[in-house]
Amino acid sequence: DAKTTQPTSMDCAEGRAANLPCNHSTISGNEYVYWYRQIHSQGPQYIIHGLKNNETNEMASLIITEDRKSSTLILPHATLRDTAVYYCIVRDYRDDKIIFGKGTRLHILP
C-alpha cells in the first residue's frame, strides 16, 4: 500500500495558487517527500522534494509540517498547462520499492 494519502481530485482557477495536500503520517526520519506530476499519459515528471524544511524551486513550493506527517505542494500561479495528476511519495535513499499510489487529479479552470 502507498505510504501517502492524497485527495482524488481538485479544481483550481487559472492564475490562482493551487495547494495540493498529502498525508504521510507514518513517515520515518530518513524519508524524503517527493512530488511528481504526470500530464496525460506522459512519463511522470519530478517537481520538488524535501526532508524537513520548506523548499522552493522554479516550479513550485513544498511546505512540510513540523511533525512531518503532512505536506502541501503549492503551484503559485496555476496555468492550464498545470492540469495533471500529481503524485506525492515518500522515499528513503535506501528504498527499493517505491509506491506511487493514485495521486491527485488537478483540474485548472479557465
Partner 1 sequence: EAQVTQNPRYLITVTGKKLTVTCSQNMNHEYMSWYRQDPGLGLRQIYYSMNVEVTDKGDVPEGYKVSRKEKRNFPLILESPSPNQTSLYFCASSSGSGANVLTFGAGSRLTVL
Chain residues binding partner 1 by CB under 8 A are 32, 34, 36, 41-46, 49, 87, 91, 93, 96-103
Looking at the Cβ atoms of 14 and 55, the one nearer to partner 1 is 55
Do residues 28 and 93 lie in contact, with contact meaning Cβ atoms separated by under 8 Å? Answer: no
Looking at the Cβ atoms of 81 and 110, the one nearer to partner 1 is 81
Q: Under DSSP, is residue 11 helix (H, G, I), strand (E, B) or coil? A: strand
What is the closest distance, in whole angstroms, from the C-beta atom of residue 110 to partner 1 in the complex? 26
What is the closest distance, in whole angstroms, from the C-beta atom of residue 47 to partner 1 in the complex? 10
Neighbours of 40 (CB within 10 A): 7
CA distance 108 to 110: 7
What is the closest distance, in whole angstroms, from the C-beta atom of residue 55 to partner 1 in the complex? 11
Looking at the Cβ atoms of 12 and 103, the one nearer to partner 1 is 103
What is the closest distance, in whole angstroms, from the C-beta atom of residue 92 to partner 1 in the complex? 9
CA distance 106 to 22: 13
User: Pick from 35, 9, 36, 4: which is nearest to 22 by CA?
Assistant: 4
